[in-house]
Amino acid sequence: MKRIAWILLLAPLLITACAPNNVREEKSWEKYFTQHKVEGCFMLFDNSKGLFKVYNLERAKERFLPASTFKIFNSLVGLETGAIKDTGMVIKWDGITRSVPEWNQDLSMREAFRVSAVPYYQEVARRIGKPTMQKWLDSVKYGNMKISSIDTFWLDNSLKISPDEELGFVKQLYFDQLPFHKITMQWVRSVMLMEKTDKYELSYKTGWGIAGPKEIGWVTGWVEENGRPTFFVLNFESEDPDIEMRNVRMSILKGILQEEGYFEGMK
């Protein structure tokens, strides 16, 4: 009964998408986390079948800093308010050399999203401003809706969101169910598309943040085959400061999706 009660709280995903008896715990996915010596969770919702699979239910309801997965939300608000004119809008490099070479140049929104350029999106947040950003956080009910400094709050553990909330958020984005104009949501979906083949389309945003001694990793989005989306969220943590985060994220994500039969165009 305790498990069912928790599942019923997974709005906005479950109330609109599937019933409690559609949820399956996939303990077999643990091997992907063990392989990389990380602790985490993975959630997968097959929209056409109404089937919801989860590894590590308890972690799925905990909130963590969203790190760069917040660029999805930041993009939506930026485009909706005009802080970003369109996906081709360029923000000039400020001349400060940073550790990621791809950030040290003028970038369009589309380019900044793909290389996850923190300085670009910090400037977007400053142009949006704290009152307007807070209004949209409250309207969407994004995580705990807390802002500290306008250009760091998604990185400094002020704003936090749970994996199930992230999954509900991207599902609403896909189906135009967020309180933004449809063209705004369409533009953001377009920049989230990272892989496109004749068999599948893979759309997502990654995240990498620090919470005390822990490195926090995220990937959230959807895989689409034959016009049918399946939504996912990966969240994990490690105390290894030298973790190869980019490789670990994609290894776990693609390992699980391949095990579940994706990327073959048969879903």
Structure tokens at 73: 């939300």
Q: Which of 208, 203, 190, 189 is nearest to 100 (CA)?
A: 208
According to the model, what pLDDT value does residue 22 have?
A: 74
**Structural contact between residues 193 and 203, judged by C-beta atoms closer than 8 angstroms:** yes
Which residue's structure tokens are 């949820």?
A: 23
| CB contact set of 236 (below 8 Å; sequence gap of 6+) | 33, 36, 38, 39, 40, 41, 216, 217, 248, 252
Task: Give pLDDT, residue 18.
Answer: 40
Positions in the chain whose pLDDT score sits under 50: 1-20
CA distance 267 to 109: 32
pLDDT of residue 266: 87
User: What is the distance between the alpha carbons of residues 125 and 247, in angstroms, rounded to a whole number?
Assistant: 29
User: What angle (nearest 5°) sits at the alpha carbon of residue 251, between those of residues 206 and 230?
Assistant: 65
**Residues 223 and 230 sit within 8 Å (Cβ to Cβ):** yes
Tokens matching residue 243: 């973790």
- In this predicted model, what pLDDT tens digit does every residue of 231-250 receive, in sequence order? 999 999 999 999 999 999 99
Reduced DSSP (H G I as helix, E B as strand, rest coil) percent helix, strand, coil of the chain, to 5: 40, 20, 35
pLDDT of residue 16: 37
CB-based contact 36:252 (threshold 8 Å):
yes
Catalytic residue among 28, 68, 108, 149: 68
Distance CA 73, CA 112 (A): 14
29 vs 59: CA distance, rounded Å: 14
The helices-and-strands tally (H runs, E runs) of the chain is 11, 9
Residue 68 catalytic?
yes
